[in-house]
Structure 1
Amino acid sequence: MPGRLRSFSPGCAWQLLRHFSHSPLAQGRLGGSYSNAVVIAAAVRTPSVSFQAEEQQLAGVVLDELVKRSSVPREEYKQVIVCSSPTTPAPECRERLTRVAKDLGLQCDTLALQDDVCSLGGLQMALDSLQRVGDQCIITGDLRCQVMQPTHGVLANELMAVQQPRSRTRNQAGAASSTGLTTLGAAALSWTTMQTAQRLQLQPLALLREFAVEQDHEQAMYRLKDRQPVTPSEIHTWNMVTGTQKAIPEGVLGDLHANRLCTHDFRQITASHLLTHLVHSLPAGALGCTFMGMPDGRSMVLVLEKLVPSIDQVQGLPLITLYTREPCPLCDDLVHRLEERFAGQYRLEKVHIDRKENVRFLRLFRHDIPVLFLNGQFLCMHRLNEEALMERLEALNRSR
């Protein structure tokens, strides 16, 4: 299987962690005030099941889901940067991605990448573009054939429902069985600036605090102005992409003062999958750090801060927003289910998408109601996702 990220040896990985644990990141060439700080508006990935689908088909499903989760008007997206399978010729990948974007109503530039470092290269291109032209939204994503996606610790909130038939094989006994976790693995993130998020009245998931690429010396590519450099003792979760599944050496967690240290096999993860999981799993207000290696020997470090939604809690209750229209029997059933299962744990407001002042949401959710947002961030659509709601409510209770 072709490598997607450089395989660290365990010794190299621990040495890299300890190197950063004794010194803050260097001051970088790119900065930003808080208003034009880069944020993640939404992030989503496919579940780890086998599908019978072409890359173009799955790309359309994932990008459409991401746009709806972000609640960003489609015309605000200016770039779509996707890393696709190296088995498909590059011109064909570009043509397919352009067609997908057009079908979704995204009138923007598209870029399909295929080289081993494209996950990180696409991310760097997106950040550079947001620094040059801040008032825009950009999608980055990974679409890879035959990625063995890990299932441990995956949250309902990061997964989308994909209505695809599972491919099936016959085992030795002749019974039908699922082919396992080999799948077209897709994940995507919506990036913008804090200023644009405020203009569009978004509640972003996370704030980018640091982005650096280490070459011969530390080279910070992004850092917020007027913010102190992040130090390792502040990090809640460390994610490190390695080439092995060997045990974590004793003392590493103690050295880093971290609550969680997670390692990932480079053959089982992509940059978009890793960041999607990180942004959903971090506690509110916490910092998460990701290390990745590149085939040319460079290493990347990225630090995210999980944002707390700026929505007032009335009597300590979170706000559930239901996007609906009249009539909507499915919406009525969902409200009844909410009252039955989660009474007293939320307050509800309804937004009727068929009213003139809500045309933005009509264009996004016309065929998807009921749609639910919790504290301004996507929760579910079509039906109530009880598992996702329980996850979010429990996370809110832990953060109090």
Structure 2
Amino acid sequence: MRLLYDLGVWLYGKILWIISPFHRKAKLWVQGRKDIFKAIQEQIDPNQQYIWFHFASLGEFEQGRSVLEKIRIKYPSEKIVITFFSPSGYEIRKNTPLADHVFYLPEDTAKNARQFIELIRPKFAVFTKYEYWHHYFVELKKRNIKLLMISAIFREEQIFFKPYGDFFRDILRNVTYFFAQNMDTVHMLKWINITNAGLAGDTRFDRVLELPMQHKPISEVERFCREHRVLVAGSTWKPDEELLKKLHDDFNAWKFIIAPHEIHDTHIQNIVELFDGQVLLFSNFRNYSPEEIHARRVLLIDNIGMLSSLYHYGDITYVGGGFGVGIHNTLEAATYGKPVIFGPKYAKFQEAVDLVTLMAGFSISNYKQLKTVFEALQNKDKLQECGAAAKKYVQQRAGATQIIMKYLETEKLLQ
């Protein structure tokens, strides 16, 4: 099985290399790993030990962010290295002040794992949610370096729990401790004889709980919204935007703020054309007259980094991705006390399942369902009730970061 695993890692890299001239993300993935060890060696202090945080992408970074911030504040002398697997995480957070160095993670080979760990000499390593790399985990275990998995979550259909999953179960056995999102995860790990796990919760709750308190007004958005009712749609893709266009046409009294997941020129232009000239571009906001700002009904956010603040301005929120591989972050909307609408692919996301159960989140599969939900939320009492349930849900589930920090301090991993 290890040979098949190594072959899969090799093939994945080769495929990305082949398509990189035609695919932006593949190009960034390949270029980011070119001469990666030379870059690491030039930047790293060979006499310093680092805390190593690894994130698959941007969403996982947000999941670990609260722990990073607590370490930065309470233990400012600690040095931190962050690695990303995906360009969508690295390119946006490569200059984060929460780390001393940020790199792409070299491909998971025995040689790369050994070389990387020798260079950064980690005091301990923190991985987030569901990224498990055989060679890195084995190398950490071999060197008696503690490996922590935070916000861990498992599902029965994963390969770890299949009769043929021995190789992948062995990867998990290299983890020092699992901080689980839910008790189902703890029980499933116990079922495969892994008992070094405990319930901590999802660290994202700690992160998003602070967002309303940190909110800073965005003057352009306030001028656009004025006294209108507003739907804020975040991390949208084409299927989401097509539904939102129909909603826009049927509910004339509402304004729409759309922050798409992809902001390359082609996607932005497609949205502009979809909404028939009703769009204001945030990057061009100063060039619109007050009359134009008042008349147009769609504000298109063509930059990265504003979304978590934008939900403040919505009466109702929509989170995209539910017609693709899965929905994006619903908690950033829920923390502001806003009901959240999203597509059908949400079952893998515990917080979305919980929000639906609490009638604070609503899953839709087509425009008819979207319109029905939207019409129901026109009722002021219903809107407030759903929003209050969303906010209470976030507040009640905070605290994972405190549990993780207590473990790090008790184990004397921080100084």
Please indicate the TM-score interval, normalised by the length of the shorter structure: under 0.3
TM-score, length-normalised on structure 1?
0.26
Structure with the larger helix share = 2
More strand, by proportion? 1
- TM-score, with length taken from structure 2: 0.26
Which protein has greater RCO, CA pairs closer than 8 Å, 6+ apart?
1
Give the structure with higher Rg (CA): 2
